[in-house]
């Protein structure tokens, strides 16, 4: 809706002077002399009028040039289309007082955050979607409140062609509201904003509306409102879907695109009736228009942030169910996927999860429906848009005939994560991105709590959480390049940086530690109060601490949660707690805390540059044991660098064990005597120490040795008990540690010493457990699977095949050969990835071509992923190069899988140098394609560089970073530190490591 052009300020002022002069002239009969005088006055007045006009115009032009500079250059000066409100340049008119002049001087459109002067209340958004040429056009009407007087409306808009603009005051006495005159409007691309400069200031406490029309392309880059495609019965079909988090709603419509600016939304979508349209809310009305297009009007949303708004236009079909409370749940996917039943599992667990979260949080789900949308391409595993959660197909479609247990488990946890976000994220949203862990940490923690609700026998929160969350994030957080979980976000480029595993996994680990300290009932009451207080609004970490402290005080437990947790959230890293006997005082132990860091130089200079900042309030649980039993745990709060505490009676054979079941976010070290007692205990009677603690000891001992806190022989001595281990979790922790060593050693001359040592640890378990059969594969689904047995069997087979067990290799080759000869795949789903990879690495090129053919013909998304990864296992450089080139330059590999192909080629010792070279050669293309997508660049950089471990490779990395211009700085800084640590390990520890293996009876 445009405004008619009004005369310029300069012309108006000039015309006013001329008219005033003309009105003062009285025309009546004069004498000739008087006529001459009058004519002289006329000429003089006319000349003065012209001179005044010239001066005013000159001043206006000068001011407009200055304003053009403020507006960002040529683009600002080019915006003079319909509805501009004025053809003249904005001249800083004084009519509205001094506020506008001050704003012009500060140039609010140049700031990294939107001005706080305006606050949106409601959006009416109407879109026309053209799937034939992948464009869309629309009109948005934004109702907003003026908080502070201002002449400027600054909204986010990126890659949008804005047409007409109109601004209205809703407090005008006129029935339609008063039209506000627009002096100037322009894009400021550097800040991704669109600026509307008004003639007069808007007044505080009043409401206004701005209407904008716009149009744009649906890009093929997985962000904003983007297009995607799939093939159905040989026909290529298209769909369009949104991905707005964190800062991409502005690519789809002009808006206040920051989390704190919550508003309600009413959306209508106009499109070809051959398609279905979906949005956050149900369809309220549908209308087929005269031109044949369909317009769907969706119900008004609750107050929500722009990045949770979502819509899609597709020709999918759906499955449907309904909760006991009447919430409709639908899963939309490709028609062939729906027909095959691939969506049934996710739909059913979603129904159960909505009930679980409503009961756990004691807060009802807020919307009348929840749609799950499975799309072929997406930058992330899923996105928790309120009422319309979007998943990449691999994370929601399940074919039990071909899906492994690990695939099924991963899918389950993704669904659990996204449903949790309907409360932590959608309902209560972090104020700003610095506290993104407030939603991602909770959702990641509840992946394990929610999965335990679905399948209690899995015991995910007490076991798998340790290896998959705690151990993994401590690897990252022990680097000198780590950062606090709450970190300052100023520039737009900083926003992407906060979405990393520190936010997700460290957030989850700290929440788990806090839940264990508080006790579950008190923790749940605190969460309920937090959600109820801030629902439909925003919250910061202080709001959470306050509610949890109130819950503790209600139980007469006086713990200042903020004082405890700020140390964990506002400083990077975590402590290593060292427990040792106090030789001076009987029954006492000395406990010290120190910032754990892999970089030894960082430890040596920490005192000088960090003062006492690396200090935590640590809830240390402690127990003692001997050959037959372990005492109940006690909790000790450690606040100082060094403390002495009284414990029970100890003799020479009594060992100490800290951080029981690894509920705390820290490592534990002991004196060497205590380590030897623990090693003896595991060898003689491992059951005295719990499964979780056995896994924790393995992870701690390997990482303490890697960082130089312990001799290299201690971890190898400790895992000497593994042939007796019958539980999955300690084996999983050990395999993760061994693969870390394998990355360092697989190109060394003495590698066989290490691989033989690993195979001797694995041999007994491998022969005892054997291989799974494929009988009743359909019944071996996630609902009936014996978690411990199947996962342990898989872990042992993977270690055996990876490190060269001959029987394992023969078994894999036999199963691949049987598949090729019979064209019937009888390989058990739970070990298919191991068999495929082993077969491709050992067999000839024909097997690679066979797997490549199966990858293209398979319709099961889980099977396609396993087949694609198997192709990266070849030892043929030509085939690996071919795969790398095809992945990036064709449509044969989905966009989100290209990065995985490069990383997996890099994991292959025969492909490491190829992946490293390919990454550098194609960096500009990769960065252009994935640079804006959260995680993708950092995942790629980490995956390709973590295997580099020579001085030459370190030099190549540093030279490449210098040549790349500083893009992806944090990820590259982390990569350099990891490669430096790899090189340093070789120089400091490799010789001692192999010396021990040569002397060891198990080596």
- As a whole number, mean pLDDT of residues 448-469 equals 94
Instruction: Report the C-alpha gap between 884 and 878 in whole angstroms.
Output: 10
Question: Over the stretch 572-629, which tens digit does the pLDDT of each residue have?
Answer: 999 999 999 987 777 899 999 999 999 876 555 544 444 456 899 999 999 999 989 9
Q: Are 600 and 631 in contact (CB under 8 A)?
A: no
Alpha carbon 687 to chain centroid distance? 39
And the tokens for 970? 């944090």
Per-residue CA distances from 877 to 745, 850, 874, 909, 917 (Å)? 21, 17, 8, 11, 13
pLDDT of 89 strictly over 50: no
Question: Over the stretch 320-372, which tens digit does the pLDDT of each residue have?
Answer: 999 999 999 999 999 999 999 999 999 999 999 999 999 999 999 999 999 99
pLDDT of 21 strictly over 70: no
Strand order in the sheet with 317-322: 317-322, 328-333, 369-375, 388-392, 382-383
Lowest mean pLDDT among 59-68, 198-207, 630-639, 872-881: 59-68
Lowest mean pLDDT among 31-45, 398-412, 522-536, 755-769: 31-45
And the tokens for 223? 């962000």
Per the annotation, the verdict on 418 as an active-site residue is yes
Q: Are 49 and 13 in contact (CB under 8 A)?
A: no
Instruction: Report the C-alpha gap between 509 and 444 in whole angstroms.
Output: 9
Confidence of residue 15 (pLDDT cuts 50, 70, 90): very low
Q: Are 338 and 319 in contact (CB under 8 A)?
A: yes
Q: What percent of the chain shows pLDDT beyond 70?
A: 85
- The radius of gyration computed from the CA coordinates of the chain, to the nearest angstrom, equals 33
Q: Are 254 and 212 in contact (CB under 8 A)?
A: yes
Q: What is the pLDDT of residue 175?
A: 53
Q: Cα-flanking dihedrals φ and ψ of residue 31, to 5°? A: -80, 170
Q: What is the pLDDT of residue 128?
A: 98
Q: Are strands 428-430 and 537-539 parallel, antiparallel or unpaired?
A: parallel
Confidence of residue 773 (pLDDT cuts 50, 70, 90): confident
pLDDT of 753 strictly over 60: yes
Lowest mean pLDDT among 70-84, 704-718, 794-808, 911-925: 70-84
This prediction's pTM: 0.87
Nearest Cα to Cα of residue 318 among 327, 307, 306, 328 = 328
- As a whole number, mean pLDDT of residues 162-187 equals 84
Per-residue CA distances from 738 to 375, 600, 698, 990, 991 (Å)? 37, 22, 10, 14, 17
And the tokens for 307? 């990045």
Instruction: Report the C-alpha gap between 471 and 479 in whole angstroms.
Output: 14
Q: What is the pLDDT of residue 47?
A: 55
Q: Are 125 and 264 in contact (CB under 8 A)?
A: no
Greater confidence (631 vs 95) lies with 631
Q: What percent of the chain shows pLDDT beyond 90?
A: 75
Q: Which stretches of 581-637 are DSSP H helices? A: 600-610
pLDDT of 455 strictly over 70: yes
Q: Are 815 and 842 in contact (CB under 8 A)?
A: no
Confidence of residue 54 (pLDDT cuts 50, 70, 90): low
Confidence of residue 787 (pLDDT cuts 50, 70, 90): confident
Instruction: Report the C-alpha gap between 125 and 872 in whole angstroms.
Output: 46
H or E element: which one contains 331? strand 328-333
Q: Cα-flanking dihedrals φ and ψ of residue 402, to 5°? A: -125, -5
Q: What is the pLDDT of residue 74?
A: 35
- Give one DSSP letter per residue of 650-671, joined into a string: --TT-EEEESGGG-SSSEEEE-
pLDDT of 722 strictly over 50: yes
Nearest Cα to Cα of residue 277 among 225, 220, 326 = 225
- The residue annotated as part of the active site, out of 103, 104, 139, 418, is 418
Q: Are 851 and 867 in contact (CB under 8 A)?
A: yes
Q: Which stretches of 519-560 are DSSP H helices? A: 520-534, 541-554
Confidence of residue 893 (pLDDT cuts 50, 70, 90): confident
Q: Cα-flanking dihedrals φ and ψ of residue 198, to 5°? A: -95, 160
Instruction: Report the C-alpha gap between 516 and 511 in whole angstroms.
Output: 9
Nearest Cα to Cα of residue 59 among 108, 93, 25, 19 = 93
Instruction: Report the C-alpha gap between 588 and 694 in whole angstroms.
Output: 25
Nearest Cα to Cα of residue 244 among 224, 264, 261 = 224
Lowest mean pLDDT among 646-655, 944-953, 954-963: 646-655
Q: Residues, the chain, total? A: 1003
- 3 state DSSP class of 628: coil
Instruction: Report the C-alpha gap between 91 and 101 in whole angstroms.
Output: 10
- Rounded to the nearest integer, the mean pLDDT of the chain is 87
Cis peptide before 464 (omega within 30 of 0): no
**Residue located via tokens 């009004």:** 6
- As a whole number, mean pLDDT of residues 18-40 equals 36
Q: What is the pLDDT of residue 45?
A: 58
Instruction: Report the C-alpha gap between 686 and 766 in whole angstroms.
Output: 19
Q: What is the pLDDT of residue 57?
A: 55
Instruction: Report the C-alpha gap between 530 and 521 in whole angstroms.
Output: 14
Instruction: Report the C-alpha gap between 518 and 557 in whole angstroms.
Output: 9
How many CB atoms sit inside 10 A of residue 956's CB? 17
Q: Which residues make beta-bridge pairs with 955?
A: none
Q: Are 309 and 280 in contact (CB under 8 A)?
A: yes
**778 DSSP 8-state letter:** G
Q: Which residues make beta-bridge pairs with 225?
A: 242
831 CB contacts (<8 Å, ≥6 apart)?
404, 771, 772, 794, 797
Instruction: Report the C-alpha gap between 755 and 950 in whole angstroms.
Output: 20
And the tokens for 582? 């106090």
Strand order in the sheet with 276-279: 224-232, 235-243, 311-314, 276-279
Instruction: Please give the torsion angle defined by the CA atoms of residues 101, 102, 106 and 109, in that order, rounded to the nearest 10 degrees.
Output: -60
Instruction: Report the C-alpha gap between 566 and 555 in whole angstroms.
Output: 22
Q: Are strands 642-646 and 575-581 parallel, antiparallel or unpaired?
A: unpaired
Alpha carbon 772 to chain centroid distance? 36
- As a whole number, mean pLDDT of residues 958-962 equals 93
Q: Which stretches of 110-267 are DSSP H helices? A: none
pLDDT of 424 strictly over 70: yes
């Amino acid at each position: 809706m445009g405004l008619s052009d009004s005369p310029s300020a300069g012309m108006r002022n000039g015309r006013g002077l001329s008219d005033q002069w003309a009105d003062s002239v009285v025309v009546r009969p004069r004498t000739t002399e008087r006529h001459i005088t009058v004519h002289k006055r006329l000429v003089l007045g006319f000349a003065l009028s012209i001179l005044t006009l010239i001066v005013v115009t000159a001043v206006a032009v000068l001011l407009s040039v200055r304003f053009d500079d403020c507006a960002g250059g040529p683009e600002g000066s080019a915006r003079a289309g319909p509805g501009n409100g004025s053809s003249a340049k904005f001249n800083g008119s004084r009519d509205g007082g001094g506020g506008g002049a001050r704003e012009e001087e500060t140039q609010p459109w140049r700031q990294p955050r939107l001005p706080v002067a305006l606050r949106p209340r409601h959006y009416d958004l109407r879109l026309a979607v053209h799937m034939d040429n992948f464009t869309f056009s629309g009109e948005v009407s934004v109702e907003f409140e003026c908080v502070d007087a201002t002449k400027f409306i600054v909204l986010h808009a990126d890659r949008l062609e804005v047409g007409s603009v109109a601004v209205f005051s809703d407090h005008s006495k006129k029935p339609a509201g008063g039209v506000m005159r627009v002096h100037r409007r322009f894009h400021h691309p550097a800040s991704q904003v669109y600026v509307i400069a008004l003639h007069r200031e808007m007044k505080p406490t009043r409401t206004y509306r701005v209407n904008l029309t716009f149009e744009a392309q649906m890009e093929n880059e997985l962000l904003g409102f983007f297009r995607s495609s799939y093939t159905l019965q040989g026909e290529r079909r298209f769909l369009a879907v949104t991905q707005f988090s964190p800062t991409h709603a502005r690519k789809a419509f002009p808006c206040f695109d920051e989390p704190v600016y919550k508003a309600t939304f009413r959306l209508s979508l106009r499109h070809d009736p051959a398609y279905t349209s979906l949005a956050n809310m149900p369809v309220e009305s549908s209308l087929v228009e005269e031109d044949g297009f369909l317009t769907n009007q969706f119900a008004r949303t609750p107050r929500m942030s722009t990045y949770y708004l979502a819509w899609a236009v597709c020709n999918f079909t759906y499955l449907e169910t309904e909760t006991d409370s009447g919430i409709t749940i639908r899963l939309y996917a490709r028609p062939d996927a729906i027909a095959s039943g691939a969506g049934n599992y996710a739909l059913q667990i979603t129904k159960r999860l909505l009930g679980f979260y409503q009961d756990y949080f004691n807060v009802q789900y807020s919307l009348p429906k929840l749609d799950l949308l499975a799309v072929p391409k997406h930058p992330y595993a899923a996105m928790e848009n309120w009422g319309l959660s979007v998943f990449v197909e691999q994370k929601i479609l399940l074919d039990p005939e071909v899906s492994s247990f690990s695939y099924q488990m991963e899918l389950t946890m993704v669904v659990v994560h996204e449903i949790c976000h309907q409360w932590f994220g959608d309902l209560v949203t972090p104020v700003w991105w610095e506290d993104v862990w407030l939603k991602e940490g909770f959702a990641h923690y509840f992946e394990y709590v929610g999965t335990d609700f679905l399948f209690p026998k899995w015991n995910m929160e007490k076991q798998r959480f340790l290896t998959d969350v705690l151990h993994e994030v401590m690897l990252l957080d022990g680097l000198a390049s780590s950062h606090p979980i709450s970190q300052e976000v100023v520039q737009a480029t900083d926003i992407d940086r906060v979405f990393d595993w520190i936010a997700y996994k460290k957030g989850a680990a700290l929440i788990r530690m806090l839940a264990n300290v508080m006790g579950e009932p008190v923790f749940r009451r605190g969460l309920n109060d937090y959600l109820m207080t801030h629902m439909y609004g925003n919250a910061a970490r202080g709001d959470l601490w306050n509610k949890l402290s109130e819950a503790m005080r209600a139980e007469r437990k006086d713990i200042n949660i903020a004082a405890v947790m700020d140390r964990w959230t506002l400083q990077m890293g975590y402590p290593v707690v060292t427990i040792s006997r106090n030789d001076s005082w009987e029954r006492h132990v000395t406990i010290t805390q120190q910032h754990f860091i892999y970089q030894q130089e960082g430890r040596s200079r920490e005192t000088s540059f960090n003062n006492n900042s690396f200090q935590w309030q640590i809830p240390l649980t402690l127990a003692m044991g001997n050959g037959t039993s372990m005492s109940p745990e006690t909790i000790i709060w450690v606040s100082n660098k060094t403390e002495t505490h009284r414990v029970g009676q100890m003799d020479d054979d009594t060992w100490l064990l800290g951080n029981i079941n690894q509920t705390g976010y820290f490592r534990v070290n002991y004196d060497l005597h205590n380590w030897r007692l623990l090693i003896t205990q595991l060898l003689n009677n491992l059951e005295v120490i719990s499964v979780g603690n056995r896994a924790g000891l393995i992870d701690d001992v390997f990482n303490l040795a890697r960082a130089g806190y312990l001799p290299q022989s201690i971890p190898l001595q400790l895992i000497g008990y593994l042939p007796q281990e019958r539980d999955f979790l300690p084996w999983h922790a050990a395999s993760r540690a061994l693969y870390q060593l394998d990355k360092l050693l697989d190109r060394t001359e003495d590698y066989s010493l290490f691989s033989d040592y690993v195979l001797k640890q694995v041999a007994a378990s491998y022969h005892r457990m054997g291989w799974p059969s494929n009988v009743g594969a359909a019944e071996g689904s996630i609902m009936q699977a014996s978690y411990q047995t199947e996962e342990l069997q898989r872990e042992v087979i993977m270690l055996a095949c990876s490190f060269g067990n001959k029987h394992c290799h023969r078994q894999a080759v036999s199963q691949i050969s049987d598949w090729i000869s019979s064209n019937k795949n009888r390989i058990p789903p739970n070990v298919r990835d191991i068999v495929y990879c082993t077969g491709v690495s050992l067999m000839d090129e024909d097997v690679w071509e066979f797997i490549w053919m199966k990858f293209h013909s398979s319709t099961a998304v889980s099977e396609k992923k396993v087949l694609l990864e198997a192709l990266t296992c070849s030892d043929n450089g030509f085939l690996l190069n071919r795969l790398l080139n095809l992945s990036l330059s064709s449509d044969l590999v989905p966009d989100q899988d290209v990065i995985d192909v490069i990383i997996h080629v890099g994991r292959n010792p025969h492909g490491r140098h190829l992946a490293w070279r390919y990454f550098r050669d194609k960096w500009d293309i990769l960065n252009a394609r994935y640079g804006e997508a959260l995680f993708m660049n950092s995942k790629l950089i980490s995956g390709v560089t973590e295997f580099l471990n020579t001085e030459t490779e370190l030099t190549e990395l540093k030279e490449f970073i210098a040549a790349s211009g500083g893009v992806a700085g944090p990820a590259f800084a982390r990569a350099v530190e990891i490669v430096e640590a790899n090189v340093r390990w070789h120089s400091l520890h490799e010789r001692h490591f192999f010396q021990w293996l040569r002397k060891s009876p198990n080596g």
